[in-house]
């Protein structure tokens, strides 16, 4: 009587080493992208990785096909019991690519590009995802858990980000302000995700907004090296709420385009106490433009300063935040979400007149040009 062959063949030493190396590579990849997230570089890294992934996947699938290591049963009969694991892998990976594309699409700033360029970027994102999803129909015969785990962690991460972005906040979690300007302004940085708001990972600026003035759909016209070419530069800014002026910085120079003051991050600023532990800060103001003084009471809609380019800034804009302390440098400083009262909100080409508008990147906010605030 001969010995029966083992039901499970022992793994070869090369196979064990390969699994260990793949596992270590997956862990390293997760750690690298986690680090990039907290450095604020994840969006750029993912955008680049998406387009590197397409030719890499084509080459990998081609090499695996030559070596006859691809599974073709999934594309022929995907619901057979023997291809069920491959179908789950396809779902896992395609969900990752889909949520990645949705996140990147939200994070792209259209106003930075010409219309044709922006359309091309969107086509590239969705085209890359379609190609990658199609290639996933031809998996390797052998499924590796270590290579699927980063995809699962990835779509869970993107899902969390998207849920945070789209979940509406309640009024009791926010501070309602009048728009501190007139006309149409653009939300360049804002929203409850680091993908939409580079302030979000910083406790002292988490719910801050960076706002740019828009004229004829553009934030600047003319020579990009001149401050006067930017629509926001020199625009009147208004008190967004009634309160007491508790801090004024008015003597910092406006930085030239391309310059930045990393020592005085906020540049010229105005801080107004509007309630207990509620302070509105307007920052990056034009030098010598603040028209109120410390200790003065201001009313809603009162002109208080002009928009400038002082401090740590790349172009003229208004940095707006509501904080729990007067001093921006207080270790316990935290910010609160902002809702704008009675503005027209333009999002995705649709205009809504809202009593309380919760804004995020790429929104346009239009406040009445004339008339007192309601």
| 175 CB-near residues (< 8 Å, 6+ apart) | 274, 278, 280, 322, 336, 337, 338, 339
Between 1 and 306, whose confidence is greater?
Answer: 306
Tell me which long-range contacts 193-200 makes (C-beta under 8 A, separation of at least 24): 193/161, 193/164, 193/165, 194/37, 194/40, 194/42, 194/43, 195/42, 195/43, 195/103, 195/106, 195/107, 195/161, 195/165, 196/106, 196/107, 196/165, 196/360, 196/361, 197/360, 197/361, 198/40, 199/321
Per-residue pLDDT, averaged over 244-263, amounts to 94
Alpha-carbon span 301 to 270, nearest angstrom:
15
And the tokens for 246?
A: 């508790």
Which pLDDT band, with edges at 50, 70 and 90, does 37 fall under?
confident
pLDDT at 5: 42
Q: Which CATH number, 3.40.50.1820, 3.40.1360.10, 2.130.10.10, 2.70.70.10, labels domain 171-367?
A: 2.70.70.10
Helix (H, G, I), strand (E, B) or coil at 360: coil
N-term to C-term CA, the chain: 96
User: Which residues make Cβ contacts (< 8 Å) with residue 207, sequence separation at least 6?
Assistant: 192, 199, 321, 322, 335, 336, 337, 338
Arithmetic mean of pLDDT over the chain: 89
At 372, the pLDDT band (50, 70, 90 cuts) reads very low
* 23: CB partners within 8 A, 6+ apart: 146
pLDDT above 80 (res 358): yes
CA 351 – CA 246 distance, rounded (Å):
36
254 forms beta bridges with 310
Q: H or E stretch including 97?
A: helix 84-107
The rounded distance, in Å, linking the Cα atoms of 79 and 76 is 9
Instruction: Give residue 38's pLDDT.
Output: 77
95 and 155 Cβ atoms separated by less than 8 Å: yes
Whole-model pTM: value is 0.87
Q: pLDDT tens across 19-28, in order? A: 566 667 677 8
Q: Are 113 and 121 in contact (CB under 8 A)?
A: yes
pLDDT at 255 over 80: yes
8 pLDDT more than 60: no
Q: Where are the domains of the chain?
A: 22-166, 171-367
| Better-predicted residue by pLDDT, 114 or 310 | 310
């Amino acid at each position: 009587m001969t010995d029966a062959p083992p039901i499970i063949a022992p793994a070869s030493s090369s196979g064990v080493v390969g699994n260990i190396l793949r596992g270590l590579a997956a862990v390293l990849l997760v750690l690298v992208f986690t680090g990039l997230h907290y450095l604020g570089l994840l969006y750029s890294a993912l955008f680049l990785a998406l387009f590197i992934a397409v030719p890499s996947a084509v080459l990998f699938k081609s090499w695996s096909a030559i070596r006859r290591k691809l599974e073709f049963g999934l594309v022929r009969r995907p619901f057979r019991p023997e291809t069920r694991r491959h179908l789950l892998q396809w779902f896992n990976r395609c969900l990752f690519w889909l949520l990645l594309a949705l996140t990147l699409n939200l994070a792209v700033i259209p106003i930075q590009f010409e219309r044709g360029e922006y359309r091309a970027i969107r086509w590239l994102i969705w085209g890359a995802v379609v190609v990658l999803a199609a290639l996933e129909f031809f998996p390797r015969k052998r499924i590796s858990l270590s290579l699927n785990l980063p995809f699962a962690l990835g779509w869970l991460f993107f899902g969390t980000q998207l849920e945070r972005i789209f979940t509406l906040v309640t009024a009791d979690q926010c501070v309602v302000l009048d728009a501190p300007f007139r006309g149409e302004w653009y939300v360049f940085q804002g929203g409850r995700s680091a993908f939409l708001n580079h302030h979000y990972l910083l406790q002292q600026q988490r719910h801050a907004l960076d706002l740019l003035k828009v004229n004829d759909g553009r934030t600047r016209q003319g020579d990009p090296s001149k401050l006067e070419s930017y629509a926001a530069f020199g625009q009147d800014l208004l008190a967004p709420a009634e309160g007491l002026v508790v801090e004024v910085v008015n003597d910092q120079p406006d930085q030239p385009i391309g310059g930045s003051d990393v020592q005085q991050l906020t540049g010229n600023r105005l801080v107004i106490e509007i309630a207990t532990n509620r302070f509105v800060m307007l920052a990056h103001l034009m030098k010598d433009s603040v028209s109120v003084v410390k200790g003065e009471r201001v009313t809603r809609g009162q002109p208080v300063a002009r928009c400038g380019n002082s401090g740590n800034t790349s172009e003229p804009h208004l940095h707006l935040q509501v904080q729990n302390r007067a001093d921006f440098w207080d270790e316990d400083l935290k910010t609160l979400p902002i809702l704008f009262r009675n503005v027209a909100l333009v999002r995705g080409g649709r205009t809504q007149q809202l009593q309380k508008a919760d804004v995020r990147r790429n929104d346009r906010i239009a406040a009445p040009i004339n008339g007192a605030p309601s």
